[in-house]
Structure 1
């Protein structure tokens, strides 16, 4: 007797059939998703070929007032909602990792397609989620997990699926971009700019995930995985935040023709033997003022892609907020619902390349080093010898008076990260260098 195998094609429910939707979470994003679903129900029905029917909204507190929401839709038992027979698609907008992972896996294993905006979950458990979706022959969508309404996930999965991505660099966190832009445009200190971002609602009460780069690192892991068809997780991303950036750093960058941005950088690395690997990092970066990313201001996001055939592309827009994120969620929901009605699946995860993740020390970069040195003859030669000993050449050297000492700003040519880092460590140990004020990489 031949074992029954799961079909690779989902025939669909048929045109005109309703699609049941469960929403997990009713916060900033969840409430917008629900509102827009109700307001645009007729348009969605035409786009899908069947109606979207909201079967329930899972919340943690049933006693909290929720204006405009039918109380009959609310439940505090998300797992029971997921397992209802009339639910075809689960929308997860809770946030966090452990509990959402449990719910999303349960939904996928129950044969429900999933739409999530949860970048931390996808960055940490993409392999497990993708395997569950494949086993159940259902969709897993997560456009909203990276840069909200900017369609970068769909671009990498579909539009550039026939090209080879060389590098992805982007501003993917609106809070840090707002802070750095405020420091650049007003001369504010980091603390003052953060306080303003908090007052305006751009920064959370605890801004650590944003300002230390963790939020951007989750998104970098997703972008690298999609762009290079390789499993890249959050822990694979080298991460540095912006909390040490000073007004003096901003001014020094301006004087040199740069602006400072927190960038997520994902790139294909080729060593001297021709072996390829993938590197992903998040750190403050000096961006030339003529570069397209330099003009991205306030809380906006932008993704800059360099591809073999398509060349240089940039995707720009509002990368956070309830409405923009809900827009991306609903785009995924329409796609998942269309597949439920008409059959088939969206492109899933593909890690066929299986490239190793590069040691960050092997990545090639450039440094902008701002230091206080003794103001005496021979110091420049002494410092230049330290750089030369590790094979690092200097592109520019600028010296300014600084009290009894001299302020020296050095920009290097490209070199291995490990060599540059070791050089800075050595500089900090010699008597001629009184202080290394800052070390910032250049794009």
Structure 2
């Protein structure tokens, strides 16, 4: 902390001035008096690192001389560095430098934390500073601090969440309007919910990074983005949405983190991101538009749900400011917040050992014996069938009849289901395995 006229002040450096950075800067200036009262010392914004000084930022209540392109110098003269530039570099180098110079860090950078969180934790411990990142998962929703503080004495068994607003908007609109994937993505882009290149969202990369952070905190085990099994929503069709409706379900892109026992009897951590059908009675089924929600199951606390706006400038800035206030209070009163807790060091289970139910749609011949052949393929791979529905359709030109078989399984491993799909593909009566989707929450 610095002193001005004998008064201690918390010096804050801001890296990035995009949508989130601008909201953080505005809140720091406009809420200065309240922040001072809550912290016990005034907060001084000492600089904002940007890429281009020439950009018009007159809408921000920030003196022009606070903007700088020298981020490396800026982080050496702050008590708290707030990073909202994203990406791996230069963010990682800047944050390591900031901590080496004694600054605590607030970051919203889920990609960096998922890839190299242990390095940042180690640097924070070595420097005796705080590393907070509430804004890295689910925007304004307070989920990470409850996971590492409020539930620190409990045994978390499962975390199930909708953690990407873009994909939730797309799937929700496909469900409510019947529109196709590409049409709905275009609508999300027009409304500002999706980037011009939506790959990170629709292919599940963003959700996978967040799942890694949630699993690391929940299970006291280091989990990286590379440990997360990932499937996006680009292959979800209107037919999949209709099939879910027929089961009174909705399709959601879920982040699923479980502490479980694998098929080999070894307890470990399973982390996956993929689209799945969930019953409309499940709490996550009612999460609409671009909202996020995280459902937590703990041994003593039971079932908890955290819900709110998962993205956007103001919601994310709210999480950033919450972290900043917590760290600033530590600096005024002394002490630090919790660091990394990875003592459990559980193995990461291969996705093949994960257990769930499955919904399969098959294009088959309409003749006697087909159902028996299909059932045998399931029996041979030790996957039990729960329900079967058949729809007959007739080719208008030839009059030939074909059938669509819709099968829902009992719980099975991912590996067993994959073997079933391979067996079905080699069965002469099966023209195509049209779709396979997991069924969760039932």
TM-score category, normalised to shorter length: over 0.9
Residue equivalent to 2:435: 438
Residue equivalent to 1:221: 212
Q: Structure 1 residues 90, 199: closer, same or farther in 2, change over 3 A?
A: same
Q: Aligned to 2:364, what secondary structure does the other structure show? A: strand
Is contact 2:12–2:44 with CA below 8 Å preserved after alignment? yes
* Counterpart pick for 1:83 among 66, 70, 76: 76
Is contact 1:12–1:344 with CA below 8 Å preserved after alignment? no
Residue equivalent to 1:54: 45
Residue equivalent to 2:421: 424
Distance in structure 1 (CA, Å) of the matches to 2:2 and 2:244: 56
Residue equivalent to 2:194: 203
5 Å matches for 1:12-51?
17-51=8-42
Is contact 2:10–2:42 with CA below 8 Å preserved after alignment? yes
Residue equivalent to 1:330: 321
* Counterpart pick for 1:174 among 165, 190, 193: 165
RCO higher in structure (CA 8 A, sep ≥6): 1
Residue equivalent to 2:397: none
Q: Structure 1 length as normaliser, TM-score?
A: 0.95
Distance in structure 2 (CA, Å) of the matches to 1:63 and 1:207: 28
Residue equivalent to 1:3: none
Distance in structure 1 (CA, Å) of the matches to 2:281 and 2:321: 35
Q: Aligned to 1:388, what secondary structure does the other structure show? A: helix
Distance in structure 2 (CA, Å) of the matches to 1:122 and 1:327: 20
Verify: 1:70 aligned to 2:63, yes or no. yes
Is contact 2:262–2:354 with CA below 8 Å preserved after alignment? no
Tell me by how many angstroms 1:436 deviates.
1.4
Unaligned runs of 5+ in 1: 1-10
Residue equivalent to 1:232: 223
Distance in structure 2 (CA, Å) of the matches to 1:90 and 1:58: 11
Residue equivalent to 1:130: 121
Is contact 1:28–1:322 with CA below 8 Å preserved after alignment? yes
Distance in structure 2 (CA, Å) of the matches to 1:377 and 1:314: 49
5 Å matches for 1:356-395?
356-395=347-386
Tell me by how many angstroms 1:341 deviates.
1.1
Q: Aligned to 1:205, what secondary structure does the other structure show? A: coil
Tell me by how many angstroms 1:48 deviates.
0.5
The total of aligned residue pairs comes to: 430
Is contact 1:12–1:343 with CA below 8 Å preserved after alignment? no
Residue equivalent to 1:243: 234
C-alpha deviations, 1:258-295, integer Å up to 9, x for none? 10000000001213665310010000011011000001
Q: Structure 1 residues 142, 211: closer, same or farther in 2, change over 3 A?
A: same
5 Å matches for 1:91-130?
91-130=82-121
Unaligned runs of 5+ in 2: 395-400
Q: Aligned to 1:405, what secondary structure does the other structure show? A: strand
Q: Structure 1 residues 81, 162: closer, same or farther in 2, change over 3 A?
A: same
Residue equivalent to 1:415: 412
Verify: 1:400 aligned to 2:391, yes or no. yes
Is contact 2:164–2:310 with CA below 8 Å preserved after alignment? yes
Q: Aligned to 1:354, what secondary structure does the other structure show? A: coil
Residue equivalent to 1:8: none
Tell me by how many angstroms 1:347 deviates.
1.0
Is contact 2:2–2:9 with CA below 8 Å preserved after alignment? no
Distance in structure 1 (CA, Å) of the matches to 2:403 and 2:157: 40
Distance in structure 1 (CA, Å) of the matches to 2:439 and 2:202: 19
5 Å matches for 1:131-150?
131-150=122-141
Q: Aligned to 1:65, what secondary structure does the other structure show? A: coil
C-alpha deviations, 1:15-71, integer Å up to 9, x for none? 962100000000000000000111111111111110110000000001111123311
Verify: 1:318 aligned to 2:315, yes or no. no
C-alpha deviations, 1:210-261, integer Å up to 9, x for none? 0000000000000000000000000000000000011111001000111000
Distance in structure 1 (CA, Å) of the matches to 2:324 and 2:46: 14
Q: Please identify runs of 4+ aligned residues in structure 1 that moved more than 4 A.
A: none
Q: Structure 2 length as normaliser, TM-score?
A: 0.95
Q: Aligned to 1:324, what secondary structure does the other structure show? A: helix
